[in-house]
Structure 1
Amino acid sequence: MATDWTSEIEAAAGRISGYIQRTPVLHGADLGIGHPVDLKLEQMQHTGSFKARGAFNTLLSTDVPSAGLVAASGGNHGAAVAHAARALGHKATIFVPEMAGPSKIALIRDLGADLHVVPGAYANALEQAQAFEAQQGAMQIHAYDAPATVAGQGTMALEWEAQGLEADTILIAVGGGGLIAGALAWIGGRRKIVAVEPETSRALHAARAAGTPTDVEVSGIAANALGAKRIGQICFDLAQAHDTETVLVCDDAIADTQRLLWRRMRQLVEPAGAAALAALTSGAYVPAPDERVAVLICGANPAPDPFLT
């Protein structure tokens, strides 16, 4: 039976409304790129990313076992689960790869989770989280490929439209695909949604080319947030259904856009938070002259953390 995503996302929005931030929107921001753009500053969400939406929706829509929660994360998902677990009185065990970096590792630890730093990449952390789940009976919260996670992330798009979104096209960065899946599930074909990925972490791009989710090699400056080895099945199915365009950006373009956001807007973001906008600044995505464009900015946990002492 097909998921009624509209109902699921509306229910999620009501469920989590007392636990998340309504993040601000900038209309017609002048970034000096020759094209005004609307920005949603989702990096101002709790723990610095949209991930809190999916974490709270999951925990508030199910019974949590006494063994608590377990999650694998490149950093932002783990921080969101730790935050939601603390807010709702649950134990949380988080597995992150070493590449998560000191900023995100410190954030998760500060939020009170039982933190395990694993050699390797996200896939290695996921293996250990799955083993912990089987051994301890903890509830796994998947970072992106679970209906409750996707519905929670979809509340971002619902909220943005309620704030007066007028764009023809929305650019969204993709790692495992939970955020863009939520946006596709809510918006459907009413607006064009473009997936932006680093050249070195292109799980959705590869899946669209192959016609099925497939493993990719992961590296680059945004890998600790956009470094899924394989795109989630939910995201892939929605991207196929809506013939979602994918564009790729290089690390230099992402880093340049981080600096642009700081210099022009005084917005400090991690590489993943700048990736979607980098598609515009680098020319990887060129809008038509009258095309109204919006960009989701997300990820406020750069490494190194400029204030971590």
Structure 2
Amino acid sequence: MDWKSAIDAAADRISGQVFETPVLNVTGFGLGFPIEIKLEQMQHTGSFKARGAFNTLLGQPVPPAGLVAASGGNHGAAVAFAARKLGHKAHIFVPEIAGPSKIALIRGIGAELTVVPGEYANAMQMAQDYEAGTGAMQIHAYDAVPTVAGQGTCLREWESQGLKADTVLIAVGGGGLIAGALAWLDGARKVVAVEPETSCALHAALKAGEPVDVDVSGVAANALGARRIGRICFDLAQAQGLRSVLVTDEAISAAQKSLWRELRQLVEPAGATALAALLSGAYRPEPDEKVAVLVCGGNIAPDPFPED
């Protein structure tokens, strides 16, 4: 797979459809060293997911039945947004744990929405049944080449903005974002996966030598709660010897508060997970190692400014 060409093509395809998100160079958080932070939660619908959604929709014909997606919330919002902008109908399936703010976001965009009892895997099964019954095009949240190539544009963009770090910390759920990063960087910089202790599909897969099912819970489960890591992510991670570190829910919540107090950035738990690895000591840089953190999502629950 020629990932570089696929990501270059994705960047051209989605140009004008997504924001170039800002980068901050920050000295603070009590770390004693500067870090680079990319604020991808400022992307359309509050996460990086719009990149993969637009790349998928613009790269192939959409059938008359429209689109279907299963999502913990952020992917569904991105697909709904891209579909509305490009004139397609979309049906989104989300689990109950998506939470009221993400459910309200998808409804507000205007997609047809089904809230499914249980977790993400249940929503995926219903989305697959809908696909089979209607002929709608499935937009996978993380384990599809167009999705991964779209997410890879985030690191491509960051490098064009002058990324200097030796190491980039990225939160992992199903693996689409970090797979895109690995595909673009291809070993040129170190990538570190950060997962909650209670939702760690990649960590478990690397330990087992193959993707395995894991139990999912915790404060970031509605964004990082994939039961099994995507095959694309696993293959790239295994080939590149990716390191995965785990953080507690308490560390994630503390990182959320730190982002608000230090930078006035209001993010969801998943968005703070990569930073939590630094603040908690789960990842300790070597002396003079330059570190960057990707903040990936801002759809906090409960919504601090709900509709009246």
Q: Residue 37 in 1 paired to residue 35 in 2?
A: yes
Q: How many residues align?
A: 307
- Which secondary structure does the structure 1 equivalent of 2:245 belong to? strand
* Letter paired with 1:37: I
The residue aligned with 1:221 is 219
TM-score normalised by length of structure 2: 0.99
Q: Aligned partners of 1:137, 1:286: CA distance in 2, in Å?
A: 49
**SS where residue 113 of structure 2 aligns?**
strand
Q: State the match for 2:14 in structure 1.
A: 16
- Aligned counterparts, 1:81-230, within 5 A: 81-230=79-228
The one-letter amino acid paired with 1:258 is Q
Distance in 1 between residues matched to 2:40 and 2:85, nearest whole Å: 20
Give distance in 2, aligned partners of 1:145 and 1:298: 18
**Corresponding residue for residue 63 of structure 1:** 61
Q: 2: CA distance between counterparts of 1:50 and 1:31? A: 24
Sequence identity of aligned pairs in percent?
73
Cα distance in structure 1, aligned partners of 2:281 and 2:7: 33
Matched, 1:73 2:71: yes
Shift of 1:28: 3.5
Contact 1:29/1:39, CA 8 A, preserved across alignment: no
1:142 and 1:179 mapped to 2: Cα distance? 13
Q: CA deviation at 1:151?
A: 0.2
Return the match for 1:249 from 215, 227, 247.
247
Q: Look up the match of 1:231.
A: 229
Q: How far did residue 162 of structure 1 move? A: 0.2
Residue 144 of structure 1 aligns to a residue in which SS? coil
Equivalent-residue separation in structure 2 for 1:29 and 1:159 (angstroms): 22
Aligned alpha-carbon RMSD (Å): 0.6
Q: Following TM superposition, by how much is the alpha carbon of 1:32 offset from its aligned partner in structure 2, in angstroms?
A: 2.2
Task: Classify the secondary structure of the residue corresponding to 2:241.
Answer: coil
Report the CA distance between 1:124 and its aligned residue: 0.3
Show the counterpart of 2:272: 274
Counterpart in the other structure of 1:49: 47
CA–CA distance in structure 1, aligned partners of residues 97 and 24 of structure 2: 32
Gaps of 5+ in 1: none
- Measure the CA separation in 1 of the matches of 2:117 and 2:129: 16
Contact residue 175 and residue 201 of structure 1 kept, 8 A: yes
Where do residues 294-305 of structure 1 align in structure 2 (5 Å cutoff)?
A: 294-305=292-303
**Alignment-mate amino acid for residue 307 of structure 1:** F
Alignment partners' CA distance in 2, 1:34 and 1:279: 15
Structure 1 residue 207: Cα displacement: 0.3
CA shift for structure 1 position 30: 2.1
Q: Using the TM superposition, give the Cα deviation of residue 44 of structure 1 relative to its aligned residue in structure 2, in angstroms.
A: 0.2
C-alpha displacement of 1:225: 0.2
